[in-house]
Amino acid sequence: MSWSLESLLEFLQRFCVDESITTADLIKFIELRYDFIYNDTLDFYRTEGTFALVSGTKYYYMARQLNLAIKPKFFNQTDDTHPITSCDYDHILSIDPDQSETGTPRKMAFVELSPVQRQPNESSDTGAVGAKSSSSSDTSQEVYISGLRTSGGVLIEDTDVISLSGTTFVASAKTGWHTFRVVSKNEDSVGFVTVSETDGVNTYAIIDPYSSHSEYQKWRAWPTSDVTDTIRYTGYRLPVVPQFDSASIDVSHDLLAGFIHGLRSDVHDVNFDMIKAQKYEGMFREAIQKAKENNMWGDGQDLVDGSDSYRRYDPRGNLEDVDEDIEVI
């Protein structure tokens, strides 16, 4: 059984406090619990993906859903049988200082975390930069962009603020953007905010409703590809923060009960019930410790399939089943 955001909110309202906790509160609690779990040296949610090599392009940006703390493992090109190994970016600079060598990529190096998934100067984009939301309700938020742009034939540091108008694309008042250093929004939104070159042409960043910004892993392919091809890789994704009532909580059956204990601790904490907050916090941390001791999540595989053989808690059929009687085993 998976829990939706709506059913989890109903449960917490019924068994923890009155109806003072809101959906927005619960989403924040879920985000904090995700951060706690995924920063605790555990590898979760193995995922496989591909990206297209473009002739003449040095840099590539991984999907924003990837865990930024765990670098992907690269394998090989679909048209070639040789492996592509990862290395330090400094190593590439040492063997090819002017970065002029071209051919079939043999190495991939992590460069930095980037606020965008493509830079205008790397793609020769010339269209107007702008932003829009996937929801018509988003009309009060502002998107902040900062970086380098060309003005009067020279590069200058500049910023601009774009006021959202729902699903209508709003262009920046400034042109000639060269490199983005900051792309963010000032408050939570209902929809996903897309910053792009012209409406729907080239996407620079997608900001989730309850996030202020996005980050992408920037990688360097070496030597610079002289052909179009596809790279396969394996990495680990971040848990998906539920944005809508029907969205499922992105936690495996193995940790579901313990995860709910953590949320209960958060609710009791904001309602100044310190005794219960400490009780459920302890149960949450014990569940995490048990998972580490059993080494069930070494490569994330067990969390992906959720098969019965790995379930450590019985799936609960209704709200009343999950209460004081849950034991962390």
Residues 256-286 have pLDDT tens digits of 889 999 999 999 888 888 999 999 999 999 9
Determine the Cα–Cα distance for residues 275 and 267; give it in Å rounded to an integer.
12
The string of pLDDT tens digits covering residues 51-67 is 888 899 999 998 888 87
E strand map for 44-91 = 46-53, 59-61, 73-77, 85-88
Give the pLDDT band (50/70/90) at residue 38.
confident
Q: pTM for this one?
A: 0.73
Determine the Cα–Cα distance for residues 169 and 165; give it in Å rounded to an integer.
7
The alpha carbon of residue 43 and the mean position of all alpha carbons in its chain are separated, in whole angstroms, by 15
pLDDT for residue 231? 87
pLDDT for residue 40? 60
Whether residue 3 is predicted with pLDDT greater than 50 in this model: the reply is yes
Query: Across the chain, what does the average pLDDT equal?
Result: 82
Whether residue 165 is predicted with pLDDT greater than 90 in this model: the reply is yes
Give the pLDDT band (50/70/90) at residue 108.
very high
Give the pLDDT band (50/70/90) at residue 294.
low
Closest CA to 216 of 75, 25, 62: 62
DSSP H helical segments within the chain, as ranges? 5-15, 23-38, 89-95, 120-123, 256-270, 274-294, 301-305
Give the pLDDT band (50/70/90) at residue 314.
very low
Tokens of 244: 């809508």
* H or E element, residue 235: strand 229-236
Closest CA to 206 of 196, 197, 218: 196
pLDDT for residue 247? 85
User: Euclidean distance between the first and final Cα of the chain, in Å?
Assistant: 19
Looking at per-residue pLDDT, the higher value among 245 and 92 belongs to 92
Looking at per-residue pLDDT, the higher value among 111 and 83 belongs to 111
pLDDT for residue 313? 26
Give the pLDDT band (50/70/90) at residue 206.
very high
